[in-house]
């Protein structure tokens, strides 16, 4: 019985020893794990992304001579093309990165990078182990639509007019665009359009589509530059990704500047006398004149003109300005009506400069006519009347005494 118990105890200890030795061997053998991640969900033809590999040793054994190599199709290339790690300690990990580049003409597809890791567990002379993993890489071409060649059938555009805007949508991407929809944003109140949206369809790589809209320009717009928002919405070749774009067409609304120059008033003058005249400049147009300047150019009968140049500045639509010019009539001038040449220099709100020649007509009297037309001022007449009243009253009082 004692022998039986002894044999049973020895057998149990041997079994435990065997089990303990097997667990230790498994831990000593260990294994290498590879984790991976891509910086981008997909890569475009000619583009690149970053592959991050995590080399993990989650066991209690040291792993030696880790050699990593890659295998790809013709569509992809990696840099660097391989990787070597002398050893990695137990329960540690290491990150390393690689550049994956797609060929310029790579077709849209899902391709794979085959990663092979060879390593030795426990010591450098141990049997070589091999691990393979596959990393899927999505190659996807993408369209890139841009608006160009914007034109209006009227230039300039005036408030309240009807104008057609036309433009091209060109595909500068490396993939065709599908189900293109072009629309105009009318929210700003610059215009209204009967047709707000147009379905264009597909636009191939390096291809373009011509589009036009008819616009009714707001009649209350002031002169200036406005933006017409053009919205693009389209899909890629697989119709799984939506692209949107917003670009602007510049609309120049242009009114008119109509300056009317007249001789508002003048002093009565004859040869050899001095006087002044008042020039009135009215803007009968629909647009503001800026940096307006009035220049005296010349007259055959005027001398000592002052000032010869007057800066007025801004003159709004439906407004006017009056300026006074002093002068002396030359001594040999005869009775008559003489032209006085003036010049207006100004800019429109867009910076374009204009010069206009204007003529007003000055009346020169003879000396005899000037003397006949000499008028007594009202204040002098009032004084004379008062004096007459005082004289009459004094005379009347004396007679009563």
E strand or H helix at 18:
helix 2-29
Q: What is the mean pLDDT of residues 365-373?
A: 82
Rg (CA), the chain: 49
User: Does residue 15 have a pLDDT over 60?
Assistant: no
Distance of CA 317 to the CA centre of its chain: 30
Minimal CA–CA distance to 219: which of 137, 288, 162? Answer: 162
Helix, strand or coil, per DSSP, at residue 388: helix
Q: How far is CA 228 from CA 89, 159, 168, 217, 395, in A?
A: 65, 15, 15, 11, 89
Instruction: Give the N- to C-terminal CA distance of the chain in Å, as an integer.
Output: 187
Question: Does pLDDT of 28 surpass 70?
Answer: no
pLDDT, tens digit, for every residue of 31-67? 899 999 999 888 888 889 999 999 999 888 899 999 9
User: Other CB atoms closer than 10 Å to residue 67's CB: what's the count?
Assistant: 15
DSSP strand pairing (191-192 vs 208-217): antiparallel
What does the pLDDT read at residue 26? 33
215 closest CA partner among 251, 179, 247: 251
Taking only the tens place, the pLDDT of each residue in 282-297 is: 999 888 899 999 999 9
Which residues in 296-330 are b (16+ Cβ under 10 Å) and which e?
A: beebebbeeeeeeebebeebebeeebebebebbbe
Residue from 343, 345, 256, 255 nearest 292 by CA: 345
Question: What are the Cα distances from residue 286, in Å, to 289, 291, 309?
Answer: 10, 17, 26
Q: pLDDT at position 379, please? A: 63
Rounded alpha-carbon distances, angstroms, from residue 227 to 185, 277, 336: 10, 46, 56
CA distance 67 to 89: 15
DSSP state of 107: P
- Verify cis geometry, omega within 30 degrees of 0, for the bond prior to 213: no
Backbone dihedral angles phi then psi of residue 28, each to the nearest 5 degrees = -70, -40
Q: Given a cut of 80, is residue 23 above it in pLDDT?
A: no
CB atoms within 10 A of CB 286: 16
Helix (H) or strand (E) holding 23: helix 2-29
Q: What pLDDT, in 10s, does the model give residues 110-155?
A: 899 999 999 999 888 899 999 999 999 988 888 999 999 999 988 7
**What letter would DSSP give residue 285?**
S
Residue 144: closest CA among 245, 1, 45, 282: 245
Q: Look at residue 29 in the predicted model and tell me its pLDDT.
A: 43
């Amino acid at each position: 019985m004692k022998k039986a118990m002894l044999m049973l105890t020895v057998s149990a200890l041997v079994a435990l020893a065997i089990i303990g030795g097997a667990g230790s061997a498994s831990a000593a053998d260990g294994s290498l794990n590879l984790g991976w991640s891509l910086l981008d969900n997909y890569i475009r033809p000619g583009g690149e992304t970053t592959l991050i590999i995590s080399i993990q040793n989650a066991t209690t054994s040291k792993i030696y001579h880790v050699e990593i190599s890659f295998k790809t199709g013709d569509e992809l290339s990696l840099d660097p093309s391989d990787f070597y790690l002398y050893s990695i300690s137990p329960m540690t990990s290491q990150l390393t990165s690689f550049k994956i580049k797609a060929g310029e003409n790579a077709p849209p597809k899902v391709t794979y990078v085959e990663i092979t890791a060879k390593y030795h567990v426990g010591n450098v002379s141990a049997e070589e182990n091999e691990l393979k993993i596959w990393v899927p890489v999505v190659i996807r071409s993408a369209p890139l639509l841009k608006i160009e060649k914007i034109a209006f059938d009227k230039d300039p555009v005036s408030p309240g007019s009807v104008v057609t805007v036309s433009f091209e949508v060109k595909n500068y991407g490396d993939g065709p665009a599908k189900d293109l929809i072009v629309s105009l944003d009318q929210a700003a109140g610059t215009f209204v359009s009967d047709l707000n949206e147009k379905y264009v369809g597909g636009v191939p790589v390096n291809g373009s589509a011509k589009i036009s809209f008819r616009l009714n320009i707001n009649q209350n717009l002031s002169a200036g530059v406005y933006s017409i928002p053009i919205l693009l919405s389209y899909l890629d070749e697989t119709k799984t990704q939506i692209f949107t774009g917003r670009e602007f067409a510049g609309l120049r609304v242009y009114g008119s500047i109509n300056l009317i120059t007249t001789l508002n008033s003048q002093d009565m003058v004859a040869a050899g006398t001095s006087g002044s005249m008042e020039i009135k400049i009215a803007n009968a147009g629909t647009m503001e004149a800026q940096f307006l300047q009035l220049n005296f150019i010349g007259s055959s009968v005027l001398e000592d003109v002052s000032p010869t140049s007057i800066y007025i500045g801004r003159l709004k639509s439906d407004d006017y300005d009056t300026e006074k010019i002093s002068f002396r009539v030359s001594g040999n001038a005869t009775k008559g009506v003489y032209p006085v040449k003036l010049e207006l220099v100004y800019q429109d709100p867009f910076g374009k400069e204009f010069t206009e020649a204007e003529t007003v007509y000055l009346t020169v009297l003879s000396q005899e006519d000037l003397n006949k037309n000499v008028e007594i001022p009202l204040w002098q007449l009032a004084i004379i009347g008062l004096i007459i009243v005082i004289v009459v009253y004094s005379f009347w009082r004396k007679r009563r005494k």
